[in-house]
Amino acid sequence: MAKPISFARGAPSLDIVDVEGLKAAADRAFAEDPAGATAYGTAIGYPPLRKWIAERHQVEPEHVLVTNGSMQADAFLFDALVEPGDSVIVERPTYDRTLLSLRNRGADVRMVELEPDGIDVAAVERELLAGTAPKLAHIIPNFQNPAGYTLSAAKRERLLELARAHQFTIFEDDPYVALRFEGSPLESMLSMDGDTVVYASSFSKTVCPGIRVGYLVGPAELIARIVKIATSTYISPSMVSEAIVYQFCISGALERSIETVKHALRERAKTLSEALRRELPDARFVEPQGGYFLWVDLPRGTDVGALFEAAAERDLQFVKGSDFVLEGAESSLRLAYSGVSPEEIEEGVGRLAEAYRDVTAGVAA
């Protein structure tokens, strides 16, 4: 058996996690604030971390809720805002867990095509003019999961105009923002209009996923409602985890960790793009400027289900494009390069290209 290679999971490899920094942060968390780290907190999260996040986003702490990972933040937000039958606009393709979470709540999910510069805002407008009155539009603005695309500045402005005119909330889901390794950062929609936007992010990609610390920033009255939901769900998230993240942030370890991660991701994305161009010239893709993911469109008619099987036979994993949509995307796939070394990427793309040749030969035969 070949060594398994996974382009499937959007998670960092251990070599880009600052384990020593985490250990030191844990020491300081218990030494400097033993009461705060070990006692029941409240559902707002660990207050010093809440304040630190608020300062980063230039809001008052009342606008921030720190949660057990940002998926939990999404769940609370949906609990607060989405009733069965409510329309929610999402990108097509979008993060499979968000899609599932919305469908589990009985939301009327309206997928709008994602373009390389972000969601098709003209299509959003047509949807609104046709009578859809969404509660929420879920947008992953930077290095989107699964596509790796980034929403342009012009489209950010247009989306905000549409949201204000049609009175819906933009849920700006932004876990990858810190991981830009090419190009210039764009202003968040939150900073452009704090009344229309609820913002979520996470320390999963900058500290580590296993610490499970994410957060929401939004209007104070909405955050207060969500605090009540969170209180009756779990009293408080892990104060130990949040105190460790806080110490990690204020010590400078966070900035160093982000540099490490960006450096590795830049190299991995470049290796992946070059290998795909060389080994799989049929693949169409946009070379990412940040984040974890690269979306590949194969020629129409390519059976990615069969490709998935052929790749699995070669111990290669990826996620089928169809997992990120309600229907279609059958010739597309998502490659995550966050957890694989350049050598594994070279080897993995070789296996993918072989699998592709098998599958397309089978079709031609």
Q: How far is the CB of 50 from a second copy (least distance, A)?
A: 15
Task: Mark 132-151 with x for binding to a second copy (rule: CB under 8 A) and - for no binding.
Answer: --------------------
- Which listed residue (31, 122, 133, 363) binds a second copy by CB under 8 A? 31
Query: Considering CB under 8 A, how many residues would be counted as binding a second copy?
Result: 47
* Residue closer to a second copy (CB basis): 35 or 130: 35
Which residues, listed in sequence order, are joined to residue 118 by a DSSP beta bridge?
Answer: 115
If one asks whether residue 341 binds a second copy (CB under 8 A), the answer comes out as no
- Whether the Cβ atoms of residue 171 and residue 136 lie closer than 8 Å to each other: yes
Cβ 308 to a second copy shortest distance, Å: 21
User: Cα(89)–Cα(171) distance, rounded to whole angstroms?
Assistant: 10
Residue 122 binding a second copy, by CB under 8 A: no
Site membership for a second copy, residue 72 (CB under 8 A): yes
CB of 282 to a second copy, least distance (A): 32
Looking at beta carbons only, is 118 or 146 nearer to a second copy?
Answer: 146
- Closer Cβ to a second copy, 69 or 134, answer by number: 69
Q: How many CB atoms lie within 10 A of CB 359?
A: 21
User: Contact 214/67 with Cβ under 8 angstroms?
Assistant: yes
Among 1, 3, 35, 327, binds a second copy (CB under 8 A): 35
Q: Which region among 37-45, 158-166, 306-314, 318-326 touches a second copy (by CB under 8 A)?
A: 37-45
Give the list of residues 6+ apart from residue 228 with CB closer than 8 angstroms, or none.
43
Burial track 34-50 (b if 16+ CB lie within 10 A, e otherwise): eebbeeebebbbbbbbb
Tell me if 138 sits within 8 A of 103, measured CB to CB. no
Query: Does 322 engage in binding with a second copy (CB under 8 A)?
Result: no
| Interface region with a second copy, contact rule CB under 8 A, candidates 34-42, 58-66, 136-144, 179-187 | 34-42
Considering only residues 231 to 290 of the shown chain, the ones binding a second copy according to CB under 8 A are 232-241, 243-244
Q: Does 30 bind a second copy (CB under 8 A)?
A: yes
Q: How far is the CB of 25 from a second copy (least distance, A)?
A: 9
Shortest CA distance to 229 belongs to which of 81, 103, 108, 86? 81
The answer to whether 154 contacts a second copy (rule: CB under 8 A) is: no
Does 71 help bind a second copy (rule: CB under 8 A)? yes
Span interacting with a second copy, options 20-28, 81-89, 264-272, 310-318, rule CB under 8 A: 20-28
User: Min. distance of Cβ 265 from a second copy in angstroms?
Assistant: 17
- Asked if residue 93 has a cis previous peptide bond (ω within 30° of 0), the answer is yes
Site string for a second copy, 174-213 (x = CB under 8 A): ------------------------------x---xxxxx-
Binding-site ranges for a second copy (CB under 8 A): 9, 11, 14, 17, 19-20, 22-23, 26-27, 30-31, 34-41, 68-69, 71-72, 75, 97, 100-101, 104, 204, 208-212, 232-241, 243-244
